[in-house]
Homo-oligomer: A and B are copies of this chain.
């Protein structure tokens, strides 16, 4: 059986998005529920998801573990797995890790771009690695079954997390820096260590992570995938598109600034280009998985390898979460 999984989307959720993902044949999507929201604000977001599940029960349902991906495939629906792009919802309380898991959280980034209580983000000048609280949190996440996601973390912190975590960790959405040197992309050494520990990389389709941005070609992306597989092996690479479909620019502004600064920060953007960047033509939404399939095969991947990258690797990773 082959599964199609996009292991990171942060869209402005609506029936339209769920229909697109359905048309794309996605069996599972890891969705970002919150960034900088605290626990109570996370509960508010959950109410919105309750409505989505109620109003779109023909298309989606809440995924709890890998068997829900099998169920989704069988029922022709998409299993939605919850994740956080910052650790804000657990505040300073290790007891909240169990609580967010009860509410469906399966992936949690230890940091967004800045320093968190757990580790250092990739936009800080210095990286002190995983903190005292971070060590305790990783132990608890391992025990309970919340995946450590280091997509936005700084390098030493990520090496630390791989070392401390007794379960494989994930970088759900980023690309290798040898292809495109962005703060958010990852070094060869790191990707090698991640793969050696059975961790997963989800390749990102977000223009700021792509060589030539919006103008990145499918060929270039698939060639990069082949080079990444050379470093990481064929079992540790998947897709985490980072699609932000239909989000207004106010959202990217808030993602970058949260409530920590009085003046505006532009993150991966710039003063002249502050908003969400435009997707490449061949991946305007998840239906681009079809183009990826064609492109990967053209680059030399066989059917089995292509299917691993487009979902089967993530499916196997999900099997190990609990």
A62 within 8 A of B: no
Closest chain B CB from A89 CB (angstroms): 11
Which B residues are in CB contact (< 8 Å) with A136?
Answer: 260-262
Which B residues are in CB contact (< 8 Å) with A134?
Answer: 115
Q: Which of A126, A127, A260 has the most CB of B within 10 A?
A: A260
Closest chain B CB from A125 CB (angstroms): 7
Complex CA gap A117/B120 in Å reads 10
Complex CA gap A116/B128 in Å reads 12
A59 within 8 A of B: no
Which B residues are in CB contact (< 8 Å) with A115?
Answer: 115, 117, 128, 131-134
Interface residue count for A (Cβ, 8 Å)? Answer: 31
Closest chain B CB from A37 CB (angstroms): 10
A88 within 8 A of B: yes
Closest chain B CB from A258 CB (angstroms): 6
CB nearest neighbor in B for A131: B115
Q: A128-B120, A128-B126 are in contact. Are A133 and B92 (CB under 8 A)?
A: no
A38 within 8 A of B: yes
Q: A115-B117, A115-B133 are in contact. Are A258 and B123 (CB under 8 A)?
A: no
CB nearest neighbor in B for A260: B133
Which B residues are in CB contact (< 8 Å) with A126?
Answer: 128-129
**B132 in contact with A123 (CB, 8 Å):** yes
A91 within 8 A of B: yes
Complex CA gap A94/B261 in Å reads 6
A7 within 8 A of B: no
Which B residues are in CB contact (< 8 Å) with A88?
Answer: 92
Closest chain B CB from A184 CB (angstroms): 15
Which B residues are in CB contact (< 8 Å) with A95?
Answer: 259
Interface residues of A in 99-158 (CB under 8 A from B): 114-117, 120, 123-129, 131-134, 136, 140
Complex CA gap A7/B128 in Å reads 31
Complex CA gap A314/B134 in Å reads 37
Complex CA gap A116/B134 in Å reads 11
A173 within 8 A of B: no
Closest chain B CB from A126 CB (angstroms): 4
A36 within 8 A of B: yes
Which B residues are in CB contact (< 8 Å) with A51?
Answer: none
**A132-B261, A136-B261, A136-B262 given; 7 more Cβ-contact pairs under 8 Å:** A36-B92, A92-B258, A114-B132, A115-B128, A115-B131, A124-B128, A125-B128
